[in-house]
Amino acid sequence: MNHYYPSIFSAFTQKQKMLAILIDPEKFDTKTLENFLSKIPQSTTHLFVGGSTTTKLQTEETVTALKKATQLPVFLFPGDADHISKEADGILFLSLLSGNNPEYLIKQQIKSVAVLKESTIEIIPTGYLLIDGGKQSAVARVSNTSPISQNDIKTIVHTALAGQYMGKKLIYLEAGSGAKNRVSNEIILAVSKAINIPLIVGGGIQSEKELQQVYEAGATLAVIGTAFEKENYNHRL
């Protein structure tokens, strides 16, 4: 088994920046894989595979195709317990700390154990916070939870810290795929100052400028999906 978490923690302590490209298996055509991979930024450090409404089969086919085509670590970013492929290198073992729904706080996690305990996937405990991105997100719809308002910075910081106190190794601030408003610099700054584990930020990052702002505010790892699903992504990032 590979251990990728130490490299993320070391990037955090050394203030290096990492970039994950999110691939939603539902929207991903394995035939265009090589073309897709040739266009992602040189600075890409991880590939995340996941989506709120994908299937187990789509997840497995996508992970298999990616593992054949690239040396980049492939991490599962699952929407539920079905979205697991044993061929992945790691899994963000997400617990949705916002929204008060036990199904995504702990129940899906219990369902996933039967498969995970027979695998060699690196499991990374991750506190997942859904922040209001200005339009209803698939995460909010599928998890039947409400995001935390971007104005409620205290609740966001306290939720992130509660995650750290519970032993999470990463905190992920999510504005939702295709968010109108990404997580603000002010929130990223406040959370990154409060916690002492690496911070992931994703949802609605649309340009190189925004990406740099997210890093400057304190994220160790940024996640971009939608901007790369568009034809013109080369011009956008």
Contact residues for ligand 1GP, defined by CB under 6 A: 22, 174, 177-179, 202-205, 223-227
> For 5, which DSSP code?
H
Q: Which residue is nearest to ligand 1GP (CB)?
A: 202
183 vs 200: CA distance, rounded Å: 11
If you compute the radius of gyration of the chain from its CA atoms, what whole number of angstroms results?
Answer: 16
| Smallest separation, CB 114 to ligand 1GP (Å) | 25
Nearer to ligand 1GP, 8 or 117 (CB): 8
Nearer to ligand 1GP, 41 or 178 (CB): 178
CB atoms within 10 A of CB 135: 13
b/e for 97-110, b at 16 or more Cβ within 10 A? bbbeeeebbeebbe
| Smallest separation, CB 205 to ligand 1GP (Å) | 6
| Smallest separation, CB 117 to ligand 1GP (Å) | 26
Nearer to ligand 1GP, 56 or 178 (CB): 178
49 vs 62: CA distance, rounded Å: 8
| Smallest separation, CB 166 to ligand 1GP (Å) | 22
26 vs 50: CA distance, rounded Å: 9
Nearer to ligand 1GP, 3 or 76 (CB): 76
